[in-house]
Structure 1
Amino acid sequence: MFKIILFSLIAIFSFSTIFAQTDNVSKARAFVDLLAKKDFSAAETYFADEVKANLPAVKLAEVWNSLVAQFGNFKRQTDVKTEKVKDFEVVVIVGEFERANLDISLTLDKNGKIGGLFFTPSQTPNQNAETYKVPEYIKPDLFQERELTVGTGEWALPATLTMPKGSGKFPAVVLVHGSGANDRDETHLNPANKPFKDLAWGLASKGIAVLRYEKRTKQYGSKFVADNKFTVKEETIDDSLSAVELLRKTEGIDSKKIYVLGHSLGGYLIPRIGEIDKQIAGFIVFAGATQHLEDVILQQNTYFAMLDGAISKAEQAELDNLKQLAAKIKSLKETDRNSSEFYFGAPASYYLDLKNYNPLTAVKSLKQPMLILQGERDYQVTMTDFQNWKNALKDKPNVTFKSYPLLNHLFMSGEDVPNPADYKKTNHVSAEVINDISNWILKAKKK
């Protein structure tokens, strides 16, 4: 099982300092061939030293076997493209699995060694993949959609505005993603599961406009991560604020009734977003984390290791490595800000920016109403986080809390012991959640 998971992140980054090579496609294809043959020892020899240290053959096997478990057997390589980003050269190969296509992105250094590897859902469709099915609570006749652009310049993002039909000024919600290279629907493992699409169509069916957009790390993946100094400001916050500002200027939107829903990492950052834009009408924390990301990763992986009832020696060794990496993150100093080393997919600057950030302290300064929602079957952001929000905001009369016994991190229902297999089942955001959010917003609108 792939144990290094940051919320919905399926990625390994460990960039070398200089990338430039002309004959990389054949090397990248040969590497993927070795993965398909499960010759992980041979594949490991393609890595730069720093990647080899963090992703030896045994861990590479876990990553690949997890992908196969989630998406079915690997069938073949199809399209390939290359991109130069500053001094980086990136080769992206579309890997066709039984149930989905993945973009396998590799960066190669001046010696032709792989310095970065990550897997993301591909825009190239897979004919065998399940497709999105409209849930019963959605009423397509009651809304319409149009394409917009969030932001301007080099980081402009494709977006979709879902608008209720009819005249008048509608309240609106901006959807802010969790961790990882998410599309505007927050498509998650099973390509039929699109929680942000469920939210947009479900809320629009009840008279609430919704704006969702491609995440910057999805739209500009290799270009974005080539900058080894990015923080959550560039990854998430700036674009969420641009989305709010776009809605304020959009005809048919009540500019005084614009809300922000933050999922997972997005929920963790709600206090930061609210501190900057005090005119936002209210916030929805949707399974929002409260703890430092390196601690969350360690907790998640400990949970995975215990799913079979015991931690093996190999699993304990892996957990010990994760503890050491988490400790290294906590020991980062300002002098490390310009380091090219990546930790769990992010540079030192990312963690230094969050080092002194405590969402539970920062949220107390927000004056707007808030709705805090949590699935009780969520093993990524847990009921401990939900209780942390409740403790921090217990004296705020304009904050509403609700948890759902049967729902997971995507607010989709499940049974038995929560585990990653939940995300492979075709499902939808619970109708109860849609109703609770819409009732809360519409009730606030009447005040």
Structure 2
Amino acid sequence: MQRARIFAVSMIVALLWESVFASEQVKFDREKLARGFVNQMEQGEFEKAVQRFDTVMAKALPSDKLQAIWNGLVSQYGSLQRIGDTRTEDLKKYQIVFVTCQFERGKLDAKVVFTEQNEIAGLFFVPTGAYRSPGYVNQKAFEEVEVTVGSGLWVVPGTLSLPKGGKEVPAVVLVHGSGPHDRDETIGPNKPFRDLAHGLASRGIAVLRYEKRTKHHRLKTALLSGGLTVKEETVDDAVAAVNALTKQPRIDPERIFVLGHSLGGNLLPRIGAASDKITGFISLAGSVRPLEDLVLDQVSYLFSLDGTVSAEEQQKIDVIAKQVEKVKSPALSEEVAASELPLGVSARYWLDLRGYDPSKSAKTLEKAFLILQGERDYQVTMVDFDLWKQALGSRDDVTLIAYPRLNHLFMAGEGKSAPSEYITPGNVEKRVITDIAKWIEAQK
């Protein structure tokens, strides 16, 4: 009996390894086929290239049209110099292979879509710097549902990334930083909120992300800018998103969390004070110091990156310093023009934030906190992280984690962080996703 069991287990392990090997072999074969397909186009072998097409593709893109597309690329980017790396993504019954092509005047990715029968069902050429889904995402583990957040004049569209299966799952609402953001918090080629949503959904946690009001209703908010505060900009929609989650049938209403990035992290205590349906809070680079101080520090840092501050740059710093003084002045009133204040933001906005300290306000919330910070972040720095630690570090229900190599978007780099990192393609670090998922699972 013992030998039979050992033999059965051995056979199962062998079959599992055989399945993994077969999957990797198919992946390797398709990458090889995709590289060969690009090489055929480069060699002018268009008749051979189209032989791999499925029926629909063969009708839509015969050899002469394929040749015309390739010739158009060459005329714009120059001749192909080198076929570079490949990577794959799964999309339902298809597998997509990206082949990096180095042309004389730039890089493009050939996006080759394969069927299960290894036929080519699609072909696209996209900038190499375009967003790439991170390797920790399992697209087969979740589905995405379009939802709406809020009501009336201020309703905004959103996306719920929902793990597959029938059981109730915990859920997270993502709250943006400063500025008019889309639901992915897109910055250049990077989409940190999509990384977070798909990474957590791959681990069994639902995530709701939505268009920020100041982006989706840009004209209306511009007309009301003189009366805008963080309540209208951020807090109201975050609370509405929590309410929207409670109406979703597969969401565990006892395990709804709010994750705020930057300004969103700063406002977590205000969001918590406005809703009793939140289980816990996650701050990603949540600022603690007054917003006007952060603005001045950021400008000073950026002007000093090259090692010197010119007279013209110092003049600009001095102008912002005077604007900061006006924000802090007891004489500040709603009659002061926005042009005299930092970022051109109205006096009412600054007055609403006066005296607000999120680290102290968080003490009044008897809810768990996870506070994460990138040590290379120049927008919200370790000074803010230390203020969180001083205020909440002694609490058993508060976890604080700092990451030495990460910047404001929680993407890895080296040396001093600079704005150029934000236009360099990257993804939220896997460890951040893992730490958030583990923390949520522990909140039971």
Structure-2-length-normalised TM-score:
0.70
| Partner in structure 1 of residue 429 of structure 2 | 430
User: How big is the shift at 1:131?
Assistant: 2.5
Looking at structure 2, the residues matched to 219 and 369 of structure 1 have their Cα atoms a distance apart, in angstroms, of 31
Aligned to 2:217: 220
Mapping for residues 145-184 of structure 1, pairs under 5 Å: 145-184=144-183
Give the aligned partner of residue 144 of structure 1: 143
Equivalent-residue separation in structure 2 for 1:265 and 1:257 (angstroms):
23
Q: Is the 8 A contact 2:405 2:414 kept in 1?
A: yes
**Distance in 2 between the 1:304 and 1:273 partners?**
31
Q: For residues 63-78 of structure 1, what are the structure 2 equivalents within 5 Å?
A: none
Higher relative contact order (CA 8 A, sep 6+): 1
Question: Which has the larger Rg?
Answer: 2
Q: Does 2:348 align with 1:367?
A: no
Residue among 234, 241, 245 paired with 2:243: 245
Runs of at least 5 residues in structure 2 that lack an aligned partner in the other structure: 1-105, 108-124
Any idea what the Cα deviations from partners look like across 1:323-382, whole Å, max 9, x if unmatched? 011111222657x22555353142111000001211121111111111000000100000
Q: Which moved more, 1:341-350 or 1:433-442?
A: 341-350
- CA distance in structure 2 between the aligned counterparts of 1:318 and 1:339, rounded to whole angstroms: 20
Whether contact under 8 Å (2:130, 2:425) holds in the other structure is no
Supply the AA of the counterpart residue of 1:198: D
Partner of 1:263: 261
- Determine the C-alpha separation between the residues in 2 that align with 1:233 and 1:438: 28
The alpha carbon displacement at 1:128 in A equals 5.3
Q: Secondary structure at the match of 1:175?
A: strand
Residue of structure 2 equivalent to 1:200:
197
**Does the 8 A contact of 2:129 with 2:424 survive in 1?**
no
Q: 1:41-440 maps to which residues of 2 (within 5 A)?
A: 130-188=129-187, 190=188, 192-227=189-224, 228-331=226-329, 333=331, 336-337=333-334, 341-342=338-339, 343=341, 344-440=343-439
- The residue number in structure 1 matching 2:100 is none
SS of match in other structure, 1:326: helix
SS in structure 2 of the partner of residue 371 of structure 1: strand
Contact 2:253 2:277 in 1 (8 A): no
Letter in structure 2 aligned against 1:168: K
Q: Which amino acid aligns with 2:438?
A: N
Instruction: Name the SS for the 1:148 alignment partner.
Output: strand
The Cα shift of 1:428 comes to: 0.1
Paired amino acid for 2:408: H
CA RMSD of aligned residues (A): 1.8
Judge conservation of contact 1:376–1:382 (CA < 8 Å) in 2. Answer: yes
**3-state secondary structure, aligned to 1:255:** strand
CA distance in 1, matches of 2:147, 2:335: 35
Work out the CA distance in 1 between the residues paired with 2:151 and 2:274.
19
Structure-1 separation of matches of 2:435 and 2:154: 34
Aligned-partner Cα distance in 1 for 2:161–2:133: 15
Give deviations 1:128-175, integer Å, cap 9, x for gaps. Answer: 583221111000000000110000111100100000000111100000
On the 8 A contact 2:190/2:427 being kept in 1, the answer is: yes
CA distance in structure 2 between the partners assigned to 1:236 and 1:280 by the alignment: 16
Query: How many angstroms apart in 1 are the aligned matches of 2:171 and 2:331?
Result: 41
Greater alpha carbon shift after TM alignment, 432-441 vs 355-364: 355-364
Q: What is the DSSP-based 3-state SS (H/G/I as helix, E as strand, rest coil) of the residue aligned with 2:253? A: strand
Q: Which amino acid aligns with 2:382?
A: M
> Retained in 2: the 8 A contact 1:332–1:352?
no
The secondary structure found in structure 1 opposite 2:327 is: helix
Task: Give the number of equivalent residue pairs.
Answer: 319
TM superposition score normalised by structure 1: 0.69
Deviation at 1:310, TM superposition (A): 1.8
Cα deviation digits, residues 175-209 of structure 1 (max 9, x gap): 00000010000001x2x200000000000000000
SS in 2 for 1:321: helix
CA contact 2:149–2:156 (8 Å) conserved in 1: yes
Following the alignment from structure 2 to structure 1, what is the Cα–Cα distance between the partners of residues 351 and 127? Answer: 43
SS class of match (1:370): strand
Alpha-carbon distance in structure 2 between the residues aligned to 1:356 and 1:433: 31
DSSP-derived class of the 1:133 partner: coil
Task: Select the structure that is richer in helix.
Answer: 2
The structural deviation recorded for 1:127 is 7.2
- How many Å separate the matches in 2 of 1:299 and 1:127? 38
Superposed CA deviations along residues 24-51 of structure 1, whole A, max 9, x for unmatched, are xxxxxxxxxxxxxxxxxxxxxxxxxxxx
CA contact (8 A) 1:229 1:337 kept: no
Corresponding residue SS for 1:433: helix
Q: Secondary structure at the match of 1:290?
A: coil
Check the 8 A contact 2:163/2:206 in 1, yes or no: yes
SS at match of 1:428: coil
Q: Which residue of 2 aligns with 1:79?
A: none
Which 4+ stretches in 1 moved above 6 angstroms? none
Distance, in Å, in 2 between the alignment partners of 1:399 and 1:341 is 38
Cα pair distance change 1:332/1:211, threshold 3 Å: farther
* Percentage of identical aligned residues: 49
Q: Which runs of 5+ in 1 are unaligned?
A: 1-97, 100-125
Work out the CA distance in 2 between the residues paired with 1:333 and 1:168: 56
1:40-63 per-position Cα deviation (integer Å, ceiling 9, x unaligned): xxxxxxxxxxxxxxxxxxxxxxxx
Q: Distance in 1 between matches of 2:179 and 2:277?
A: 28
Code of the aligned partner of 2:181: N
- Contact kept? 2:393, 2:399, Cα under 8 Å: no
